[in-house]
A and B are shown apart, each in its own frame.
Chain A
Amino acid sequence: MLGLSATACGSGNPATPSAGAGGAKAVTITVACQPAKSAPKERQAWDDDVATFMKAHPGVTVKSTDQQPCFDPKTFGPKLAGGQMETVFVVPVTNYDDVIGQGQALDITQYTGSIKNWNDLRPDVRELVTKDGKVYGVPNVHYGVGLVYNRSLFTKAGLDPDTPPKTWAEVREAAKKIAALGPGYVGYGEYSGGNTGGWHFTQAIYGRGGSILTPDNKKAAFNSPEGKAVLQNLHDMRWVDNSMGNKLLVGWESLMMAMGSGKVGMMLGAPDVVTDVVNKFKGNVADYGITGFPEAKASLSGGEAFMINPKATPEEAKAGLEWVDFRFNTVGKGRFDFARGKAIGNPVGVPDNAVYGDSATGKAIQADREKNASLPVTNYAPYVQAAATIPPKAEPAHAQELYAILDVVMSGVLSRKDASVDQLLTDAETKANSMLAAKG
């Protein structure tokens, strides 16, 4: 029954308004993403923000939960059904369609006028949380995919870390030199299972200008010259150059751990990869840099948004959005308090948030980040320059189903020397078209 028993839970409201002092309606909201106890300084900063917010908003009580990661697909549905989901929760961009499509987020269109800096948010980012003209979330983080690389390994391999690869041919050459450093060194790391293979295939094919689906989302479009180029390149790096190691990497953390070990030269990823490799997998922050996607024609959008529990009352929804404004949308405060971040030892300076783009708010955030940077921001300059010119591209419809199908092609070329790229893509296309036809 595999965990479905959890659906047996009852249901209830996420927070219950009650009479406050002087007869005013007091409201209690729960908010996700409190830093874990293992990060005491960040947790303290969060708790301080909660206290400040409550002082400024009498009648609003904020209770935090520290489930890590903030969004867990395994518990999301059951938590919602069981009345355990926070009033304000985080959803990654990969799950927007599912969460919005299934009615698991509140329509907040009527509140957008009061959301701080709403109009400074990038229109394409706002579009991602909008369905049929209704808004379902406040975008919190947004980024495009680039090429994350280990500068230290570049130097060791005789490569110039200040001129990272711009083409796939250069990636291939650099990967060979890094792998030649000795056993255990991997020039270029890539995923192949647990839906991460399909996810990275999508990143790679977007970068080459290809698509996963036809514009009407009715048919698969990845059996294309771009799709073939992605797979042939990986096949050749794995089996001709032997620059990808001999281990299949399954699941998000496997490649992060490998990158954190300092023996992987390059991978596709967004700037948050650097933050995670450093914070969670013991990587040395000075070692990593990120550059634009090689030969990029488009970049898969990544990011997350805050959404409101569909069971929230109007008072709770309003208080929840005020919390988001206070903690996440105010320049110089909350998560944008870079001076505090630097003081408590956070890696400040990674360009991990382009949610405000080039707007006045975006520029103010960027200036403040650079002023308080605690790491070499020049390591990220090529990415920032490239990101400004590469158009973002959203996840395909039915992303997770397609990623499961595309895992097979990725694991095929990475596990079999005799893999036929054409055959793998044709088989996957048949499966994808059949799945899409069944979905209508």
Chain B
Amino acid sequence: MGILRRNLTAYGFLCAALICFTVFAWYPMVREFILSFQKTDLINPPTWVGLDNFKAAVQDPAFGEAWLNTVEFTLLALLCGYAVPFVVALVLNELRHARAYLRFVVYLPVMLPPIVAVLLFRWFYDPGPGLFNQVLDFFHLPPLAWLDSSSTALISLVLVSTWMNMGSATLIYLAALQNIPPELYEAAELDGAGILKRIRHVTIPQTRLILLLMLMLQIVATMQVFIEPYMLTGGGPENATVSVAYLMYQFAFSQMNYGQAGALGMLLMLALLVFAAFQLRTTREDRA
């Protein structure tokens, strides 16, 4: 009882968070789970339809493309958004001058509302006066179609996403790097290890947990990509940028088929849960 009373303030704060999570995260998840087995117009009582919504979602013409695009987007985003911030963090960690300024510069894009960042890139990608093609032109290189070709649209979205999220990832990596005891590097240097060996034998093992955690977080976040295709490509050209989350949006708000959207959401959640479980298991084994 005494312990409980002593920690009353802490429990109070926890309760507030718990209520928020329950109302705004867990209840909607449960509601969506139920919705995915119902046909509803949101007015009349819903009817139970078993797995019909799941069947309809799977049979949708864009279902396969949406999953392929999402997986491709996730892999490309990992390639750019996972590796690049780590390298940037390594460089920032090594810097002796203008460190604070450069950290601020790297973090700056995170402060932009995503919608602003996306609109900014819409201008960058403009095939006429857009910044990127102007730069290519400056170097006497041919212009690219960026968002306007099925071969470049997806990677163009990945670039936006990476740019928007790089600051946060870099800061997290940087914090992890700064927690590495300097003695380890000193010992490695005394043993004659060069920079690559120091990274391989000291940095990566010491940041392994955070690297795994970031991998999981990034996969979960990038597989739910929505705002980029919604704002920049409308899923095109030729469905090249339809993502699972975008297709969910189409089901719910173009076709007003909330049950089918719920079913697709559950499938996405299931895929992410399987991945997260695998990832958590790896992390636990690693700790053990």
Q: Chain B nearest CB: distance from A126 CB in Å?
A: 23
Tell whether, in the assembled complex, residue B238 and residue A401 are in contact, meaning their CB atoms are under 8 Å apart.
Answer: no
Using known A-B contacts A2-B245, A73-B256, determine if residue A81 contacts B42 with beta carbons closer than 8 Å. yes
Tell whether, in the assembled complex, residue B248 and residue A2 are in contact, meaning their CB atoms are under 8 Å apart.
Answer: yes
Interface stretch among B104-112, B146-154, B179-187?
B146-154
Interface stretch among B5-13, B21-29, B164-172, B200-208?
B21-29
Tell whether, in the assembled complex, residue A8 and residue B250 are in contact, meaning their CB atoms are under 8 Å apart.
Answer: no
Q: Which among B147, B238, B249 has the greatest number of chain A C-beta atoms within 10 A? A: B238
Interface stretch among B56-64, B85-93, B215-223?
B56-64
Complex Cα gap A1–B251 (Å): 13
Interface stretch among B73-81, B94-102, B229-237?
B229-237
**A22 at interface by CB-CB < 8 Å:** no
Tell whether, in the assembled complex, residue A251 and residue B252 are in contact, meaning their CB atoms are under 8 Å apart.
Answer: no
Tell whether, in the assembled complex, residue A192 and residue B237 are in contact, meaning their CB atoms are under 8 Å apart.
Answer: yes
Tell whether, in the assembled complex, residue A415 and residue B238 are in contact, meaning their CB atoms are under 8 Å apart.
Answer: yes
Using known A-B contacts A2-B265, A7-B35, A416-B150, determine if residue A408 contacts B238 with beta carbons closer than 8 Å. yes
**A250 at interface by CB-CB < 8 Å:** yes
Using known A-B contacts A7-B35, A435-B60, A435-B61, determine if residue A193 contacts B234 with beta carbons closer than 8 Å. yes
**A38 at interface by CB-CB < 8 Å:** no
**A37 at interface by CB-CB < 8 Å:** no
Residue of A nearest to B52 (CB): A438
**A259 at interface by CB-CB < 8 Å:** no
Mark contacts of A240-271 with chain B using CB atoms, 8 A cut-off: 1 yes-contact digit, 0 otherwise. 00000111101100000000000000000000
What is the interface size of chain B, counting residues whose CB is below 8 A from a CB of the partner?
A: 49
Using known A-B contacts A4-B252, A193-B233, A193-B236, determine if residue A415 contacts B32 with beta carbons closer than 8 Å. no
- Residues in B whose Cβ lies below 8 Å from that of A80: 42-43
Q: Which of A204-258 contact B (CB under 8 A)?
A: 245-248, 250-251
- Residues in B whose Cβ lies below 8 Å from that of A197: 236
**A118 at interface by CB-CB < 8 Å:** no
Using known A-B contacts A77-B42, A404-B250, determine if residue A434 contacts B237 with beta carbons closer than 8 Å. no
Mark contacts of B249-288 with chain A using CB atoms, 8 A cut-off: 1 yes-contact digit, 0 otherwise. 1101111101001100100000000000000000000000
Q: Chain B nearest CB: distance from A221 CB in Å?
A: 17
Using known A-B contacts A1-B265, A311-B43, A415-B149, determine if residue A73 contacts B253 with beta carbons closer than 8 Å. yes
Tell whether, in the assembled complex, residue B236 and residue A102 are in contact, meaning their CB atoms are under 8 Å apart.
Answer: no
Q: Which of A381-440 contact B (CB under 8 A)?
A: 400-401, 403-405, 407-408, 411-412, 414-416, 431-432, 434-435, 438
Residue of B nearest to A98 (CB): B256
Using known A-B contacts A2-B249, A411-B238, A412-B237, determine if residue A77 contacts B148 with beta carbons closer than 8 Å. no
- Residues in B whose Cβ lies below 8 Å from that of A163: none
- Residues in B whose Cβ lies below 8 Å from that of A102: 41, 43, 256
- Residues in A whose Cβ lies below 8 Å from that of B145: 246, 415
**B54 at interface by CB-CB < 8 Å:** no
Complex Cα gap A13–B82 (Å): 50
Tell whether, in the assembled complex, residue B252 and residue A404 are in contact, meaning their CB atoms are under 8 Å apart.
Answer: no
Using known A-B contacts A4-B32, A246-B127, determine if residue A103 contacts B43 with beta carbons closer than 8 Å. yes
Tell whether, in the assembled complex, residue A77 and residue B256 are in contact, meaning their CB atoms are under 8 Å apart.
Answer: yes
Q: Which among A3, A76, A411, A414 has the greatest number of chain B C-beta atoms within 10 A? A: A411
Complex Cα gap A95–B256 (Å): 9
Tell whether, in the assembled complex, residue B258 and residue A4 are in contact, meaning their CB atoms are under 8 Å apart.
Answer: yes
**A194 at interface by CB-CB < 8 Å:** yes
Chain A contact residues: over half helix, strand or loop, or mixed? helix
Q: Chain B nearest CB: distance from A103 CB in Å?
A: 5
What is the interface size of chain A, counting residues whose CB is below 8 A from a CB of the partner?
A: 53
A4, A7, A95, A415: the one within 8 Å of B237 (CB)? A415
**B128 at interface by CB-CB < 8 Å:** yes
- Residues in A whose Cβ lies below 8 Å from that of B261: 2, 4
Tell whether, in the assembled complex, residue A247 and residue B258 are in contact, meaning their CB atoms are under 8 Å apart.
Answer: no
**A329 at interface by CB-CB < 8 Å:** no
Q: Which among A95, A248, A400 has the greatest number of chain B C-beta atoms within 10 A? A: A248
Q: Chain A nearest CB: distance from B248 CB in Å?
A: 5
A247, A403, A415, A432: the one within 8 Å of B126 (CB)? A247
B44, B59, B255: the one within 8 Å of A434 (CB)? B59
Tell whether, in the assembled complex, residue A184 and residue B43 are in contact, meaning their CB atoms are under 8 Å apart.
Answer: no
Tell whether, in the assembled complex, residue A246 and residue B252 are in contact, meaning their CB atoms are under 8 Å apart.
Answer: no
**A195 at interface by CB-CB < 8 Å:** yes
Using known A-B contacts A5-B28, A196-B234, A411-B238, determine if residue A73 contacts B43 with beta carbons closer than 8 Å. no
Q: Chain A nearest CB: distance from B24 CB in Å?
A: 7
Q: Which of B121-140 contact A (CB under 8 A)?
A: 126-129
**B226 at interface by CB-CB < 8 Å:** yes
Tell whether, in the assembled complex, residue A7 and residue B234 are in contact, meaning their CB atoms are under 8 Å apart.
Answer: no
Q: Which of A271-321 contact B (CB under 8 A)?
A: 310-311
**A183 at interface by CB-CB < 8 Å:** yes
Q: Chain B nearest CB: distance from A363 CB in Å?
A: 38
Using known A-B contacts A3-B249, A435-B61, determine if residue A250 contacts B234 with beta carbons closer than 8 Å. yes
Complex Cα gap A411–B129 (Å): 21
Closest 6 CB pairs of A and B: A193-B234, A194-B234, A5-B28, A431-B61, A102-B41, A81-B42
Assuming A81-B43, A415-B237, what are 20 further A-B pairs, CB within 8 angstroms? A2-B245, A3-B249, A4-B31, A8-B28, A74-B253, A76-B256, A78-B42, A80-B43, A103-B44, A104-B43, A193-B237, A195-B254, A248-B148, A250-B232, A250-B233, A310-B43, A407-B239, A412-B237, A415-B150, A435-B59
- List 21 A-B pairs, Cβ < 8 Å: A1-B32, A2-B248, A7-B31, A7-B35, A8-B28, A8-B31, A73-B254, A73-B256, A81-B43, A183-B128, A192-B234, A197-B236, A245-B128, A247-B126, A247-B127, A250-B236, A403-B254, A404-B250, A407-B234, A412-B238, A415-B148
Partner-A contacts on B (CB < 8 A): 24, 27-29, 31-32, 35, 41-44, 55-56, 59-62, 126-129, 145, 147-150, 224, 226, 232-239, 245, 248-250, 252-256, 258, 261-262, 265
